[in-house]
Structure 1
Amino acid sequence: METLQQFLAAFTDAWQQADLVFLVVFGLLFLVVWFLPSLLALAFNRQHAAKIALLNIPAGFSWIAWVALVVWAVTGKLGDKLAEKASLKPVA
């Protein structure tokens, strides 16, 4: 328990000594990482970008859900291409 208290004290001291520029850069980097699935969805898969963006907010609390959203954002159009390939032509 003492180790945890030492860690929290060191973290609190470091946070209080941080300057404004560091805090702004840290906050922006944090938001970019949190919303990375949404940004990737905009770049790769515009069809489901709104759904991914909506699910991105609570998914940031779970690494498993966050990684699943990243995979969905990157492979969205791939699923459409595979569905087109899988459609069979009627036999004459």
Structure 2
Amino acid sequence: MDTINQLFTAFSSAWQQADVLFLVGFGLFFLAVWFLPSLLALAFNRQHLGKIALLNIPAGFSWIAWLALLVWAVTGKLSNRLAAKARLKPVL
């Protein structure tokens, strides 16, 4: 219990000593990481951007859901291309 109190005290004093520029930078970094699946969906998969962005808000609380959204955001167009290839090849 004493170790937890020391850790909390150290964290509290470090947080109080932080300047405004650090806090703004930390906040922007935190939001960028939280919404990374949405940012990647904007770059890779515009078709499902709205769904990914909507699901990104609660998914940030779960690493598994956040990672699933990250995979969905990156592989969206790839899965469409693979499906199109599969439909073009005739089955003999």
TM class by smaller structure:
over 0.9
TM-score by length of 1: 0.93
Amino acid at match of 1:83: A
Instruction: Deviation per CA, 1:28-64: give whole Å up to 9, x if none.
Output: 0000000000000000000000000000000001111
Tell me the residue number matched to 1:9: 9
Deviation at 1:67, TM superposition (A): 0.8
**What residue number does 2:68 align with?**
68
CA RMSD of aligned residues (A): 1.4
TM-score of the superposed pair, with normalisation by structure 2:
0.93
Once the two structures are TM-superposed, the CA of residue 22 in structure 1 deviates from its matched residue by 0.4
Task: Report how many aligned residue pairs link the two structures.
Answer: 91
Q: Report what 1:37 is aligned to.
A: 37
Deviations 1:55-88, CA, capped at 9 Å, x for gaps: 0000001111111111000000011011111115
Task: Report what 2:54 is aligned to.
Answer: 54
Cα distance in 1, alignment partners of residues 14 and 76 from structure 2? 42
Question: Amino acid of the residue matched to residue 77 of structure 1?
Answer: K
Aligned to 2:18: 18
Measure how far apart 1:25 and its partner are.
Answer: 0.3
Displacement over 3 Å in runs of 4+:
88-91
* Structure 2: unaligned runs, 5 residues or longer: none
